[in-house]
Amino acid sequence: MDKTAYLWEKHQKLNSKNKIMPKRKAKKTPKEIQDQVNLEDILERRGLLTKESLWSNLLENKQIQQTTKVVLCILAVAAATGIAAMAPNIFSVIKIKKYKFRDFAKSDVKKFKNTFYQLRKRDLVDFTRTKKGREARLTKKGRQQVLKILFENYKIQPQQKWDGLWRVVIFDIPNEKTAFRDMLRQRLDRMGFFQLQKSVFISPYQCKNEIDILCEVYNLWDFINYLEVLYIDNEGDLRSFFGL
């Protein structure tokens, strides 16, 4: 090999070693996708911000137990129903609606009082002085927090009388979206579905709207199919699960 060819080969090897490889695009997580969408717009269009929906999906949802979440949810329902929530006596909201959220012990009441002031420090709640006392209201930041709580915890609401149709959700999410696949399974389980197979979930109740919300937030339209069927083999287990 002559000297020119040798120097050229050496030059090529040095360039290949020093070559900067393009960075791979980081895959977005479900949480990152969720934070980028306008949750309020989606939930409002889909009917989850009505008084009835807030009440059933927030206050009547046993999955929401943390004191901070409970206070935020009560304030959201109070705002939607036009009821003033006097801090720290938020229980007046419950009494007006004749709804027993739970049997509060004295220690719980003290915990709720402390929670109010912690929420104010975090700019989630603000107080307004009125003739009746301090009225608690959600701040813009607090409302956004409630929207996240609502979205992450809404459930399929059972109808008084079953119409005889089974709602079947089938999904096939590619491996590069594993995080979305795992998230979807967890969400469908929390929403009250029966898992028939790994990617097949069933409910007897109307739920197309709730499934569409998930599709819209996470852009999963191409991976999820929704069916309504009259007959499923061995549906005795399904009837027993749902108490039909």
Mean pLDDT (whole number) for 153-173? 92
Mean pLDDT (whole number) for 59-73? 83
Mean pLDDT (whole number) for 32-59? 89
User: Looking at the predicted structure, is the pLDDT value of residue 161 above 80?
Assistant: yes
CB 156 within 8 A of CB 203: yes
**pLDDT bucket at 101, cuts 50 / 70 / 90:** very low
User: Looking at the predicted structure, is the pLDDT value of residue 33 above 50?
Assistant: yes
**pLDDT bucket at 13, cuts 50 / 70 / 90:** low
Residue 212: exposure state from Cβ atoms within 10 A (0-12, 13-18, ≥19): middle
Nearest 10 degrees: CA dihedral of 65, 83, 92, 58? -10
Residue 224 CA: distances (Å) to CA of 46, 94, 152, 227: 18, 39, 19, 10
Q: List domains and CATH numbers for the chain.
A: 32-153 (1.10.10.10), 166-239 (3.30.70.240)
**Of 214, 200, 209, nearest to 172 (Cα)?**
200
User: Looking at the predicted structure, is the pLDDT value of residue 17 above 80?
Assistant: no
**pLDDT bucket at 26, cuts 50 / 70 / 90:** low
- Weakest-pLDDT range from 83-87, 124-128, 204-208: 83-87
Q: What is the pLDDT of residue 100?
A: 45
Task: Kindly give the pairing relationship between strand 194-197 and strand 224-229.
Answer: unpaired
pTM of the model: 0.78
User: Looking at the predicted structure, is the pLDDT value of residue 145 above 80?
Assistant: yes
User: Looking at the predicted structure, is the pLDDT value of residue 217 above 90?
Assistant: yes
> Is residue 31 within a helix (H) or strand (E), and if so which, with residue range?
helix 30-36
Percent residues over pLDDT 70 in the chain: 77
For residue 167, which amino acid is it? R
Q: What is the mean pLDDT of the chain?
A: 81
